C-alpha cells in the first residue's frame, strides 16, 4: 500500500531535549516536505527536499533541521525543542517538486513542556 508513515504519532517532551520525528514513504517520490499545523494558522511549511541531499527552507524553518540521505526517508530534527514548537506535524511526499498532488502522513502531535 502506497503510504507515508511518521513516528512517533504522539510525543510529550521537555524543553531542550533533542528529538527526531521520522518520515518514510514507499512511493519512490523525489519530493518530501514537513509542515506544522496550528489553530488559526493553517499549514506552514518547515523544510522541503527536492531529492537526496537537496533540502531547502520553507516558511518557518527556525528551530528545525532535516536531512535527506535516502530517497525514502526525511527525518525532522528538533535540536532544542521549545514550547512554541508544540504543534501538529505532517510529513508529505509527491512525485515531483511541489507541483503535483502531495501524499500526507498521519501526523505527529508534539507537546513541549
Partner 1 sequence: SQQGEEDPQALSIQEGENATMNCSYKTSINNLQWYRQNSGRGLVHLILIRSNEREKHSGRLRVTLDTSKKSSSLLITASRAADTASYFCATSDYGNNRLAFGKGNQVVVIP
Residues that bind partner 1 (CB under 8 A): 4, 31, 33, 35, 40-45, 48, 50, 56, 58-59, 88, 90, 92, 97-107, 109
Residues in contact with 39: Cβ distance below 8 Å, sequence separation at least 6, in sequence order: none
Cell numbers at 71, concatenated: 530517497
Q: To 10 degrees, the CA torsion angle through 99, 101, 105, 108?
A: 50
Closest distance of CB 16 from partner 1, Å: 27
What three-state secondary structure class fits 108?
strand
Closest distance of CB 21 from partner 1, Å: 14
Closest distance of CB 35 from partner 1, Å: 8
Which is closer to partner 1, CB of 14 or CB of 41?
A: 41
Amino acid at each position: 500500500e502506497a503510504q507515508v508513515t511518521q513516528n512517533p504519532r504522539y510525543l510529550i517532551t521537555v524543553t531542550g531535549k533533542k528529538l527526531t520525528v521520522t518520515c518514510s514513504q514507499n512511493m519512490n517520490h523525489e519530493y518530501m516536505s514537513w509542515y506544522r499545523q496550528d489553530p488559526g494558522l493553517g499549514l506552514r511549511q518547515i523544510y522541503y527536499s527536492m531529492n537526496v541531499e537537496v533540502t531547502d527552507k520553507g516558511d518557518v524553518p527556525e528551530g528545525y533541521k532535516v536531512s535527506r540521505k535516502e530517497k525514502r526517508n526525511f527525518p525532522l530534527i528538533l535540536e532544542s525543542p521549545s514550547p512554541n514548537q508544540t504543534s501538529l506535524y505532517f510529513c508529505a511526499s509527491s512525485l515531483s517538486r511541489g507541483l503535483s498532488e502531495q501524499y500526507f502522513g498521519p501526523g505527529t502531535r508534539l507537546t513541549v513542556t
